[in-house]
Structure 1
Amino acid sequence: MSDSVNLLVQKPTWFDLGLGYLVRPFSSDYWIMVMVVLLLIGIVFFIIGKFSPYEWGNVAADKDPRGARNSFTLRNSYLFALSTLTWQGFRESPRSLSGRIMAAFWWMFVMFTLIAYTANLTAYLLSRPEQIPDLPFKSYEELLDSSDITVGALNFGSTQAALRTSRSETLKSLWTKMNKQRSFVESYDDGVGRVSTSDGGFVMLMQSTSAEYAARRHCNLMIYGENLFPSSMAFALPKGSYWRAKINEALSDIKSEGLLTQLKDKYWRFGGDCSNIDGRKYISSAGFLSTLPIYPITLKDMAVAILLLFLGFLAAMVFLVIEIVHYAVTKKGKKIHRPALLKNPPKIFKPKSAKAAKEVPTSDIEASDEAGPSSDGLESVPLDDTLSAEATAEEAVEGESGQKAEV
């Protein structure tokens, strides 16, 4: 039999994610970031749709009697953001350059986020995180840095002597910590009792065979940590003894026949079996179901996606200013005139014939410089001011021709 020194620790309890299973792939800080970004993106699209003169477009008269519409009102902006966030497509896309730049960077953020979520959720589904125990330390270095955990060992034992004379800086520091805390115990039974009742606050360094024996008797305990001071067990005989070759041959025979394993099972299992006594396999195998190391995705992991999105915010705002200045220069400083409002807006439908179509009387139109909702609830302005002026001129010419004809 071989032996080494390991930690005897209290077995961590399992935890069940319950209703929070689907939010596990992202950390809480990244979920907050997604909510903040979703709030901002709707506002940005609304600002672009409201102030960019190239976001307004002409539509057919049967859809909007005023002939103009802006697709990105506040509610439509959030509908666009939500639909693209879930990869459901969209009905209207931005027309202006600033809006398209913002949409492109938003789509890149959505792509990175959804791919990361899907991949990490798949890993969680395969590994069943509700069966992953969690320890406050993973190595002797972390155990050394932990101030909440006391490390014990048998007083005046071989483990204490090996720690004191070790050349490893970590083990020397561990010995110093144990000596300062005066955490040595007088017997294995005393140490095992403290480990069982400490709620994870006390761990003990002991020989692996003795630690396994204790873990077999107490199902809330397990072995953990890498092997320290490995050694082999043997019988001590006088030098040149006749029985040395005989005992070696007998030991080889009982190992090959499996008798040694049967003897160990007889005296280490006590008629029962506490499962998962080796915490090194228990922790790494994620509750004996998977060996995938899985962690929630954090802000640091998605830093590139977040950086691209905020660069898109800045680029969209810069191009929005450029569009407003360009429109003002090309239109010689003319302001965007809002279309007229209808006192009694008619229901929008397609007439069956030309006779069924009725013109809207001009008396029902109230001139106004303020914006108003269109027939579909969207604010709108004409794409070009010259269209309204030309239409008015044509109506005046037709009116004069009709009066001459009557005369």
Structure 2
Amino acid sequence: MAPRHFFISTILAVVVTIAMAKIPINKHLKVVTIETEPWMMIDPNKTGLAAYSGYMADYVRRLSDITGFSYEFYPAPDGRYGSKNETTGEYDGMIGEVIKKNAHFAAGPISITSHREIGVNFVQPFVHTGNTILIRKPSKAEVGASRLTGFTVLQPFSTGLWLISIAAFFLTALFLWLLNNYDPYEYGVRATLGHATEREAETFGIQGSLWYAFTTLQWQGFERSPHSVAAKVLSGFWFVYVTLTLLTYTGSLVNCLSIIGAAPPPQRHHIINSIEELFSQNPLKVDFGWLKGGATDSYFQNKRGPMYDVVRAYIDQTNNTVATVEEGLKRVREENYAFIVELSFAKTYINQKPCNLITVGDTFSKRGYGIPIGHEISDEILEPFHQATLEMNQNGEFDALERKWFVDRGDCWSENANAEGMLKPAETTWFTQGKGAQGVIPITIPMFWGPLTILCCGMVIAAAAFIGEVLYYKYKGRDYERAKRFKGLPQQDSMTPEGDLEIS
């Protein structure tokens, strides 16, 4: 075919497609559905279209407005979504109704899968979803018990603050050791002149300095106080820092223990927080399962890998799948059971009273929801439905439907603010470490800046005092000492050493 003819054919095909999408569908269509809140709800006190409400009811209504068809709803006889019977090769549920030509299309949160596309055609996805873990929010006693395990005593301070505190301890001890060896009025230097005992000199050796810093940190006192002004200044500021540190730590520890009685944090479980943790439990503490015959069941039946082989064998042996979502919710609320369910359902149920459900872990097995249409009518309505869905998506109508049926009508949304689609907490670092894994807010470096500043100021002042003592001894103290010896005066013990020390 010549390039010119090919170009003309392509243009004509596009024009015909657009024209078909704009042609009204002058048909009355039967729509099969199932009652699944808030996707579709049926009021038994009403009749006709007025009896149906929900996300899918509004979606089909907009399709009707855009493409011009009339319709009627009817519930699927078996109340199922649609899975293939491996023995007979037939589909049940809404998919089966469409394949059997009892309905022109189905309205519900139906996952688009390769197995279902064999029997029906799908309109492009109107919602993108995946699987997540729905689990009962742990009780206060369970959370409290988990928080008391491990290194609970380390939780009052953040990792960064612990590192800074350890550094402050060693730096103070090092400073004392330096003063002991180089300050002319400290024990170490005095001992070299024979005016202090060896035991006094060892008081602020490297081991003695570490022991002095440690015992004062524990409020246990000390054997001998420093002799020089610089070391005394440093010790004074160190004592203030120690007092503030111990008081802050004690208060934060009391707060950590009191959180045991508080509500557990959302989006967090004390045992399970990922699909890997759920499947690798040994021993099994939280049982698990999913909806039988749905897209989730199909996903796990076809997933390959050692872990999934073990999971399938366990599910087949224990028959832990559930027949309905309601049965799964009942087991989650009444048993130690994790329900692997599609995210759209989970977002619905965690926002319903009694507000005792949470989702944990990342979303996996991502896919879309679409409207299944029978093959015999696809030529007439599939392309118009594609175009109408695309138009609704571009206009933000699906976002509005989600707000209307999932967010605005939720009873517990504020308690589950970390659910997908909601705001996430700001990322933190070791420096600004926020709420910990167990819901405890530790003291961080920015929060503890005051005591750290006091200690740093003390070190600066002690360094200045050290320089002053060195200069004083070099220009005044040595001559004063010689004069005292010559006149036979009593010698000062606190300010000048009883001997001569060369300091250049």
> What's the TM-score once normalised by structure 2's chain length?
0.38
Using CA pairs below 8 Å that are at least 6 residues apart, which structure has the higher relative contact order?
A: 1
> What's the TM-score once normalised by structure 1's chain length?
0.46
